[in-house]
Amino acid sequence: MFVDEVVITVQAGDGGDGCVSFHREKYVAAGGPDGGDGGKGGDVVFLVDDNLNTLVDFRYKRKYAAMRGADGGPKNSSGKGAEDLIIRVPRGTVVSELSSGRIIADMSGDEPVIIAKGGRGGRGNARFATPTRQIPKFAKPGFKGQRLELKLELRLLADVGLVGFPNVGKSTLISVVSSAKPKIANYHFTTLSPVLGVVRVGDGESFVMADIPGLIEGASDGVGLGHEFLRHIQRCRLIVHVVDVSGSEGRDPIEDFKIINGELKSFSEELSAAPQIVAANKCDLAAPEQLERFEEFITSKGYSLFKISAATTQGTRELVLKAGELLKGLPPIKTFETAGLPEWNPSELSDDKSFEITCDNGVYAVEADWLEGIIRMCDPEDYESLQHLQLVLKSSGIIDRLEELGVRDGDTVAVCGLEFDYIS
């Protein structure tokens, strides 16, 4: 099954929590805090694998999560960082953020690309010791890893793209000029997915040709099958427009040419301006006057015309040599400009710092996902730890909101399950 577009979710690993610990040793009365930092969460890394040629594996698994960093330990032991999650994709995969459409990476090279960054480990209580706070009984939780919803699009890397109506002989052409073995039959839409073939021009010279499923009128608006694969032509350096000049399908070759070029232009102005040569296929079956009329039209438009018969290989060698000659003067295969990773603040406080406060039977309940890590690391028996929590509640606006709702001294406030009496 050929799949060239999927949506997946990636989650980088969270950082490990810092440790609350105090040095314990015989004959050492007050060893002081020695809690270590948590380890870094694993990144999500994409890597090109040339053994893959479709995104079908992502159709069945859509969520990918890296491992969490290890928690810090006593004796200033830092937690172990988690291993990165390596996701292998076919060469030519374009990775973009689903919500904004910004391109994060174009997987055309061999270098691995970090797609989502793991969270930094939380600091242990040894980090919070000061001359005035010598026994801190709190530590920091690990930072959250980056989470992204991604769109993966496979855009084949080919030097030459074959375009044209269904059943004009594109599959036959690629089968005789390369080692590719596409399905060939006398009916429309025989080719259901792009086919790549390596075309040998001479000693040490070759190029990659792609057979794109047949286009029909309205393809750029989603009609037929070819519209799903127009994106694969975007990278091609040269387009070979195959036209059936025999009229075996009852169509006018000139109209066919105009329609396909119109669809290319509707899909992309840049694509319509790409270098193009025309292959007049089935010329051995065409009436001389019809072939002459088509040749006059094509040459008047400034295109090079090659009269070929793919079935008998007539003219195919000349077409291949011309394509190889033109490719020498053309720019390399197009790569898409990337914007990199979206801005991301790995702070333990969420960017929006959203929270919800409800009052039920005199108990003010505060719910906020970003507070859970802080509450987890808070020691209710330690004054300094509670003082740190109060500072967070004040800076985030929760205290002000409680006062707006009418909280009074002695009222019960529950923050993510931790209950305490409110004191102004």
Residues 1-155: name the CATH superfamily: GTP1/OBG domain (2.70.210.12)
Q: Which residues are annotated as a binding site for GTP?
A: 164-171, 189-193, 211-214, 281-284, 309-311
Residue 227 clears pLDDT 60, i.e. is over it: no
Going across the sheet that includes 276-281, the strands are 195-202, 205-211, 160-163, 238-244, 276-281, 304-307
Length of the chain: 424
Nearest to 261 by CA among 276, 250, 248: 276
The full set of domain ranges for the chain reads 1-155, 160-328, 356-421
Say whether pTM exceeds 0.75. Answer: no
Confidence of residue 197 (pLDDT cuts 50, 70, 90): confident
The predicted pLDDT at position 387 comes to: 78
Q: What gap in Å lies between CA 104 and CA 123, rounded to an integer?
A: 31
The predicted pLDDT at position 156 comes to: 79
Which has the minimum average pLDDT: 140-144, 207-211, 226-230? 226-230
Residue 192 clears pLDDT 60, i.e. is over it: no
- CATH number for the region 160-328 comes to 3.40.50.300
Residue 12 clears pLDDT 60, i.e. is over it: yes
Q: Which residues are annotated as a binding site for Mg(2+)?
A: 171, 191
Residue 187 clears pLDDT 50, i.e. is over it: no
Angle, CA 160 vertex, CA 155 and CA 165 arms, to 5°? 85
- What does the pLDDT look like over 79-131, one tens digit per residue? 999 999 999 999 889 999 998 889 999 998 899 999 999 999 988 989 888 88
The predicted pLDDT at position 250 comes to: 80
Q: What gap in Å lies between CA 371 and CA 363, rounded to an integer?
A: 18
Better pLDDT: 268 or 237: 237
Report the CATH architecture of 356-421.
2-Layer Sandwich (3.30)
The predicted pLDDT at position 350 comes to: 45
The arithmetic mean of pLDDT across residues 321-341, rounded, is 87
The predicted pLDDT at position 193 comes to: 64
**Dihedral (Cα; 54, 199, 108, 267), 10-degree rounding:** -70
Q: Which residues are annotated as a binding site?
A: 164-171, 189-193, 211-214, 281-284, 309-311
